[in-house]
Structure 1
Amino acid sequence: MFLRTVAMVGLAVGVIACGTVAINNVQNAPVSTASGKAPTAAAVRGAILQAGAGLGWVMTDVKPGVLEGKLALRSHTAVVEIPYSEKSYSIVYKSSTNLNEANGSIHKNYNGWIQNLQRDINAKVSALN
């Protein structure tokens, strides 16, 4: 009986672990426009807001040069901090609900949401004049 219990607990831990991956933070992603002109920090902020809104993220200003993004899907919530300037931006994990975050790992869907946000921010920044 004891071995069966140990095996069941091991299986449950393995199933949970298979659905998690290391948290992907975007650190100092360079800002570059297609025209080669340097954008203002305000323009970068606008690009981040547009990209987030298009993907369902709710963005709020935390302080100058820092946004907080929140994505709520079904019973899952992810919160990130997005510091930005005219030269770069980052997307850093802040908190989550129902995404099995523990010890630097999180539900595998989280990284996809961050990759989509980064891709759309890059596209919006690239389109700046």
Structure 2
Amino acid sequence: MRIIVLSILLAIFLSACNTSRPLTNLNDHNIEYLVDNGETLEDVKLSILRAGQSLGWEMTPLKPGLIRGKLNLRAHTAVVKIPYSMQSYSIIYVDSVNLDYDGKNIHRSYPRWVNNLKVKIDDFIASR
């Protein structure tokens, strides 16, 4: 009985130590309901740039409809590309440093960073 209890406790402890989560990209997040009639693609671009910068992301426009975002936190780096239009945008993983990406899973903080970016982008688009 004692061995069973210790085995269960060890399994719980080891699962709590798991620092990775499945990597999922944000694809074609609808923003049509956030964009006002008078807004332009440039307004959407500026909202994305300002939202990312407000969270510490280095945002670089690459061409119309595409922004590169880079977040450096302590020893971690995440790089994403953000294709956007008047209807939607995506946040797509490109590269990382010290986030233990294995082709499927990534550090547990990465999804939170991407979700925070999504929420902030939506806020900036809606408040224009």
Give the shorter-chain TM-score range.
0.7 to 0.9
CA gap of 1:34–1:28, structure 2 versus 1, over 3 A, is closer
Q: Is 1:66 aligned with 2:29? A: no
Aligned twin of 1:102 = 102
1:80 partner amino acid: V
1:1-129 equivalences under 5 Å are 18-32=18-32, 36-37=36-37, 39-128=39-128
Gap regions ≥5 residues in structure 1 = 1-13
Aligned twin of 1:4 = none
Normalization by structure 1: what TM-score?
Answer: 0.81
Gap regions ≥5 residues in structure 2 = 1-13
SS at match of 2:39: coil
1 CA distance for matches of 2:25 and 2:124? 20
2 CA distance for matches of 1:120 and 1:22? 22
SS at match of 1:47: helix
Query: How many percent of aligned residue pairs carry the same amino acid?
Result: 39
Instruction: After TM superposition, give the deviation of residue 35 of structure 1 in Å.
Output: 7.4
Give the RMSD, CA atoms, in angstroms. Answer: 2.2
Q: Following superposition, which runs of at least 4 residues in structure 1 exceed 4 angstroms of deviation?
A: 33-36
Deviates more, 1:73-82 or 1:55-64: 55-64
